[in-house]
Structure 1
Amino acid sequence: MNKFIIKYLTCLFVVLFISCSNANKSIKVKGSDTEVNLAVSLAENFYKVHQDFSVAISGGGSGLGIASLLNGQTDIANSSRPLNAEEVSLLKAKGIPIRTVVFAEDATAFIVHKNFPLDSIDVVTLTKVLKGEYKTWKPVTGQDILINIYGRQSNSGTHSFIGKKLKIQFSRDAKEMNGSAQIVEGIKRDKSGIGYVGAGYILNNGSEQPVKVLKIMEKPGSRAISPLDVKAIAARRYYFQRPLYQFIPVKSWNKVAAFIQFEKSPAGQKIITTSGYYIIPK
């Protein structure tokens, strides 16, 4: 059988499929939209040295990946958040023991239109914007225009991460987008919009960005830190940085071990950093 690669990208998901007839070396990876571009890059390079494997990757959100884990439909569930208590309970009830791998770190970027008048925002102001306390930008920029929030559905790990970090419920007026690509496209066209995506997603889509990435001040008047600042992330100074998880059923471990080992290799670590993600500080 000839080996081939099909790479299919939409705002909903990315699929990478490499033909292979051996089911014991056919790996399914589902989950986090934040991680999907990185997973594709890792899989492409993994295949160069392990051509007897096949890897199928799809995004759609951390919740979807974990649901696929519970339904026995994936070998690796990528997630930008830890398992919650209900998911742990369901896995136990279904008799699905798992192994957890933390393979990289990401910083959540808050993005606005390129012509947005500010380059930074403090956490207090950002909280008021995202929970809908501020309906217009007037208290922030002086512009009396409605704020449009571009976010994710509740099954998104990034949605959950921000909500827990800021201790908020998002505004009911927030737009629920299907993935990072949709958020970026929305912000490109909306001068009053604000949204959030993984910094790795921004960096992995070219150096010329179609949107502005806001720097974040933990407190009003404090130093503004960019999620694209590698040194700041390494020093853990950025307010919205987090580990990225892979949840693997124990029964799939032997199958995926070579792929996990590749992620940890010098080649895999280089792909992680050049894709705009960060190595977990030791």
Structure 2
Amino acid sequence: MANPQQDHHSERMWRFVIQARRATGEKVSFPKMHRNPTELKILLKHPSVLKDQQLLQMGKSLLQELSQIEQQTIAAANNAPSTENAEHESDLLPNRANLKWRILMVASLLLVGLFVLWQISASKQQANLVVTTTTQNENPASQLPTVHEQSEIVAARPLTPSEIALSPGKKLFSVHGSNTIGAELMPALIQQWMYSRKLQQIQRQPVGESNEFLYTAKSGEQLQRIELKAHGSSTGFKALIHGEAEIAAASRPIKDKEHTALAELGDMRSQANEHVIAIDGLAMIVHPANPIRNIAIGQLKQIFNGEINNWSQLGQAAAPIQVYARDKNSGTFDIFKSLVLGKQGKLVQSARRFESNDKLSDEIARDRSGIGFVALPSVRHSRALALSDGGAAILPTRFTLATEDYPLTRRLFLYTADNASLEVRSLIDLALSEQGQQQVAKVGFVDLQPTAASLPVEANWPEAYRQLVDGSQRLSINFRFKRNTDLLDNKAERDIPRLVRYFSLPENSNKRIYLFGFTDNTGDSNYNLQLSRKRALSVANRLKQSGLPVILSEGFGDAIPIANNLNPRGRAKNRRVEIWVR
């Protein structure tokens, strides 16, 4: 049966483990902490924990809860009535009534592997067991705890590919692709989706290869399974092409050649097939002791192609620069190459390559001469730099990422076919819902829900623009357009119902909307001014059709660029319609 106290304890213990990892810099095991007072007591004596009073008090409170849960478990065992399974197990235990033997039995079950667990379940028909898995790497995303409604058992051994192939039950779908998405966000969404469908006996087990997992659960008497493989964005599109996956996770937009190869499955750039589920940023990171605070995109290109190879070339103390980069299969590297190195750019041969964002970040935190790039949630113990791209240097914050003003902002995508199953469609719907967006924020990415911020009025802004925005707040949504069209892109189309929900809230019901359009600097200034006004008016009409209170739309042409107009991506970012409220 569900135990609310143990559920709450599991959730608080997981938060404690995450904070303890950050404080101590060591790999703290959730399964060991979760049910072992001795392990927890040892951790509470760690110098870094002792210095953090808030963390220390949390640990002491958890230790007390753990003791209470143990006492309740023992009391329940003493009072539990005999069952048919218990009678069968009497042959295995010399003295069933002996409390010590009962405790030994529970401890033994906690240590057996998933394979042994399945054998026991099959022979004794035990039910209502939920499995939490151990993992084979240090990626904290791989150690996300299951939010339990039933008892908890630790599975020790990963499944082999042959065992996966022979796994019983109905395969619901497979998700292949981005390690950035597959590390934490996709596991959280899969888990939430399973709970929303009221599936029982949810299990997650690592497969023999790193970054691969099998999820199983029961719907009535039917066993169902989901496969997750996270080896880079390009592997997701390949899996879609070969029919090995129903969902491709990507930390970059689909490429032209991939779009062509997948044409039989539908238009992968249409709103029905391309789903923006979150915003992320590539954080440029250095060792915390490195004195550099900001850097230009052009300088980054020179560092990563080897033209700049010593920190003295950037005005710092002389020391060789060690470059760290993601592996070639990752969408993270594709985005970095596109935004920084350029299409023909080459990564310096001495670069150290990693499949994991977290491992890359941890290496830089130990290397004073290192510099690298990771997904924003993986900054960890390193330090992020402010970046400039022809304008002021911008730090990666939730707001600068949400507006996509930060130079190395990127969108996270899920791609599906026209004939996607009902299960796949419902997972996509969950990811885009408010509940799914809460999971996005929880794992450290930027969710798509609108927020408002008061910004300082800059002296170099056009006078009319300064007067209009003075005393207003800017929303975290920018409307952008499909390539070479005046049509809103897929994210912008879905932003409209999000705005409807935002203005339906009591605290926002009296706010009014002001829209301001901008263009790149291609072409005549007067033409750009008229084009920016046309786009702002087009957005205003769409919002009014949805019942939103638009007071004014205006355009300012190619004024206030937020990105470099010398490259296509920079020009695309400058073609925008901002939304302000007051």
Counterpart Cα distance in 1 of 2:241 and 2:394: 38
Q: Which one of 19, 23, 33 corresponds to residue 179 of structure 2?
A: 33
Q: Which one of 212, 234, 237 corresponds to residue 63 of structure 1?
A: 234
Deviation (angstroms), 1:236: 2.6
Deviation (angstroms), 1:126: 1.4
Cross-structure match for 1:198 = 375
The structure-2 alpha-carbon separation of the partners of 1:42 and 1:75, relative to structure 1 and needing over 3 Å to count, comes to same
Q: Does the 8 A contact of 1:32 with 1:65 survive in 2?
A: yes
The structure-2 alpha-carbon separation of the partners of 1:5 and 1:62, relative to structure 1 and needing over 3 Å to count, comes to farther
Amino acid at match of 1:46: W
Amino acid at match of 2:288: K
The structure-2 alpha-carbon separation of the partners of 1:15 and 1:32, relative to structure 1 and needing over 3 Å to count, comes to farther
Q: Which one of 428, 447, 452 corresponds to residue 279 of structure 1?
A: 447
Cross-structure match for 1:217 = 388
Q: Does the 8 A contact of 2:322 with 2:369 survive in 1?
A: yes
Deviation (angstroms), 1:181: 2.3
Counterpart Cα distance in 2 of 1:253 and 1:6: 28
Q: Which one of 311, 330, 350 corresponds to residue 173 of structure 1?
A: 350
Counterpart Cα distance in 2 of 1:46 and 1:251: 20
The structure-2 alpha-carbon separation of the partners of 1:78 and 1:11, relative to structure 1 and needing over 3 Å to count, comes to farther
Cross-structure match for 1:77 = 248
Where does 1:18-57 land on structure 2 (aligned, <5 Å)?
A: 23=170, 26-36=172-182, 37-50=184-197, 51=199, 52=219, 54-57=225-228
Q: Which has the higher strand share?
A: 1
Deviation (angstroms), 1:213: 1.3
Q: Does the 8 A contact of 1:180 with 1:197 survive in 2?
A: yes
Bigger RCO of structures 1 and 2 (CA < 8 A, at least 6 apart)? 1
Give CA deviations for 1:165-214 in whole Å, capped at 9, x if unaligned: 12232222222212212211221221111111111344xxxxxx311111
Whose Rg is larger? 2
Give CA deviations for 1:29-75 in whole Å, capped at 9, x if unaligned: 12111112111122222222222464432311111222222222212
- Secondary structure at the aligned position of 2:320 is classed as coil
Give CA deviations for 1:140-181 in whole Å, capped at 9, x if unaligned: 142221111111222211111111112232222222212212
Deviation (angstroms), 1:6: 4.7
Deviation (angstroms), 1:129: 0.9
Counterpart Cα distance in 2 of 1:56 and 1:115: 41
The structure-2 alpha-carbon separation of the partners of 1:86 and 1:2, relative to structure 1 and needing over 3 Å to count, comes to farther
- TM-score, normalising length: structure 1: 0.84
Counterpart Cα distance in 1 of 2:228 and 2:132: 11
Cross-structure match for 1:189 = 366
Q: Which one of 302, 318, 326 corresponds to residue 128 of structure 1?
A: 302
The answer to whether residue 400 in structure 2 is matched with residue 226 in structure 1 is no
Q: Does the 8 A contact of 2:404 with 2:410 survive in 1?
A: no
Q: Which has the higher helix share?
A: 2
Cross-structure match for 2:436 = 268
Deviation (angstroms), 1:224: 2.6
Counterpart Cα distance in 1 of 2:131 and 2:228: 12
Could you list the runs of 5+ residues in structure 2 that have no partner in the other structure? 1-126, 147-163, 200-218, 449-476, 478-494, 496-582
Deviation (angstroms), 1:5: 4.5
- Secondary structure at the aligned position of 2:254 is classed as coil
Counterpart Cα distance in 2 of 1:41 and 1:86: 31
Cross-structure match for 2:37 = none
Q: Which one of 87, 90, 113 corresponds to residue 258 of structure 2?
A: 87
Q: Does the 8 A contact of 2:330 with 2:355 survive in 1?
A: no
- Secondary structure at the aligned position of 1:146 is classed as coil
Amino acid at match of 1:146: P
The structure-2 alpha-carbon separation of the partners of 1:169 and 1:147, relative to structure 1 and needing over 3 Å to count, comes to same
Paired-residue identity, %? 23
Cross-structure match for 2:559 = none
Could you list the runs of 5+ residues in structure 1 that have no partner in the other structure? 203-208
- TM-score, normalising length: structure 2: 0.43
The structure-2 alpha-carbon separation of the partners of 1:129 and 1:242, relative to structure 1 and needing over 3 Å to count, comes to same
